[in-house]
């Protein structure tokens, strides 16, 4: 969900091309990698080695191979790019046409070979660009993903260990993949959003960087970018451009969104009229006091902040189910 949210919400649509000089990371491919990784884990958990789980795993391998293809093209290694594309084509054709049992082994081994080659290629590039933070975050994610591959090889080749031991190693490998996905999401945040976004920011500096912002205070609502001569559609709870002077009740809407965009217009000198969208229709109207006193500092939520309570919640749910 976070990967999809970033793709839909980012000011600049994520990129699907790689550049070397200067280095430009393909954030769109990274989001696809996270998406297919997450879906494959979910499907394995619910359907085990089903065709759907193997298909999403194959799409994950194809997505990661795209990193290697584009990096090879950037350096003019067209033969390597052609070989990788050929292998990926064979994997996808086999997965789409053959039974699951016939494709698991080939998909896994091919994925291990391609993922390892991809990690080595980016590591070699990183040695020539040692100060590039974005590149080394990507290398770290790829490296942690290699640890997942090592755990997979252990489970597949050491049958003499107990099922509990092999299952524990498999779960640890899945955690490595989750960590790699989190690093990719942080990297996309760093590239597509302001890298200095933090929870508590000076109001003047934050407002100066944006054309439209909303600030919720105990006394009312402050809108920058709304002149007041005609109605304007705006999301007054949009992450990154919504500030809160303190933990006001309105902050809950960022974590449990009930209303999305709203049409804002002047009601009188002391009030703004907000016509809320609910179930894809503007059908709820409220009057909010105008506020002109701008606080010195505000809380600004990002997608990372909004995810924190959900992370805690799902970890607690997972621990409860593991003890049942």
Residue-wise pLDDT for 285-295, tens only, equals 888 888 878 88
Give the pLDDT confidence of 266-287 residue by residue, as tens digits: 777 788 888 888 777 778 888 8
Q: Stretch 40-52: mean pLDDT, rounded?
A: 85
Residue 85 has pLDDT above 90, yes or no: yes
Residue with tokens 């709820």: 284
**Bridge partners, residue 282, by sequence:** 277
**Bridge partners, residue 223, by sequence:** 214
Q: What per-residue confidence (pLDDT) applies to 196?
A: 61
Q: Stretch 2-10: mean pLDDT, rounded?
A: 88
What is the chain's length?
Answer: 324
**Bridge partners, residue 145, by sequence:** none
d(CA 313, CA 308): 9
Residue 25 has pLDDT above 90, yes or no: yes
Percentage of the chain beyond pLDDT 70 is 98
The pLDDT confidence band at residue 78, using thresholds 50, 70 and 90, is very high
Q: Which of 316, 320, 304, 216 is nearest to 5 (CA)?
A: 304
Q: What per-residue confidence (pLDDT) applies to 195?
A: 64
**87-91, 171-175, 228-232, 269-273: lowest mean pLDDT where?**
228-232
HSE-CB of 31 using CA atoms within 13 angstroms: 22
What does the longest C-alpha to C-alpha distance in the chain come to? 78
Q: What per-residue confidence (pLDDT) applies to 244?
A: 92
Quickly list DSSP for 46-115. HHSS-HHHHHHHHHHHHHHHHHHHHHHHHTT-HHHHHHHHHHHHHHHHHHHHS-HHHHHHHHHHHHHHHH
User: How does the average pLDDT of the chain come out, rounded?
Assistant: 87
Q: Stretch 155-183: mean pLDDT, rounded?
A: 87
Q: Please, are residues 193 and 7 in contact by the beta-carbon 8 Å criterion?
A: no
The pLDDT confidence band at residue 231, using thresholds 50, 70 and 90, is confident
Q: Give every CB contact of residue 47 below 8 A, 6+ residues apart in sequence.
A: 53
The pLDDT confidence band at residue 197, using thresholds 50, 70 and 90, is low
**150-154, 191-195, 235-239: lowest mean pLDDT where?**
191-195
Tell me the backbone φ, ψ of residue 166, rounded to 5 degrees: -65, -35
Q: Which of 104, 105, 173 is nearest to 145 (CA)?
A: 173
- Residue 20 is classified by DSSP as T
Q: Where are the alpha helices (DSSP H) in 132-209?
A: 133-157, 163-192, 203-208
Residue 254 has pLDDT above 70, yes or no: yes
Highest mean pLDDT among 4-18, 109-123, 175-189: 175-189
């Amino acid at each position: 969900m976070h990967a999809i949210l970033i793709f839909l919400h980012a000011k600049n649509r994520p990129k699907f091309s790689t550049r070397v000089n200067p280095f430009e990371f393909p954030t769109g491919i990274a989001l696809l990698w996270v998406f297919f990784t997450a879906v494959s884990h979910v499907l394995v958990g619910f359907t085990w080695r089903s065709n759907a789980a193997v298909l999403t795993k194959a799409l994950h391998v194809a997505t990661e191979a795209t990193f290697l293809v584009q990096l090879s093209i950037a350096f003019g290694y067209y033969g390597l790019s052609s070989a990788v594309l050929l292998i990926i084509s064979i994997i996808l054709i086999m997965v789409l046409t053959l039974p699951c049992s016939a494709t698991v082994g080939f998909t896994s081994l091919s994925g291990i070979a391609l993922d390892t080659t991809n990690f080595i290629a980016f590591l070699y590039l990183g040695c020539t660009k040692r100060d590039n933070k974005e590149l080394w975050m990507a290398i770290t994610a790829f490296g942690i993903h290699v640890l997942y591959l090592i755990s997979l090889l252990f489970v597949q080749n050491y049958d003499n260990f107990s099922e509990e031991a092999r299952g524990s190693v498999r779960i640890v490998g899945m955690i490595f993949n989750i960590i790699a996905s989190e690093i990719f999401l942080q990297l996309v945040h760093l590239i597509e959003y302001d890298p200095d976004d933090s929870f508590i920011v000076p109001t003047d500096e934050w407002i100066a960087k944006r054309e439209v912002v909303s600030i919720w205070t105990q006394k009312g609502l402050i809108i920058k970018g709304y002149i007041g001569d005609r109605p304007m559609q705006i999301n007054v709870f949009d992450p990154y451009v919504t500030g809160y002077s303190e933990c006001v009740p309105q902050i809950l809407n960022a974590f449990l969104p009930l209303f999305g965009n709203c049409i804002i217009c002047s009601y009188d000198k002391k009030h703004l009229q907000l016509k809320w969208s609910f179930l894809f229709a503007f059908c709820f109207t409220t009057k909010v006091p105008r506020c002109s006193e701008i606080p010195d500092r505000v809380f600004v939520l990002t997608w990372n902040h909004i995810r924190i309570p959900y992370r805690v919640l799902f970890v607690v749910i997972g621990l409860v189910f593991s003890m049942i």
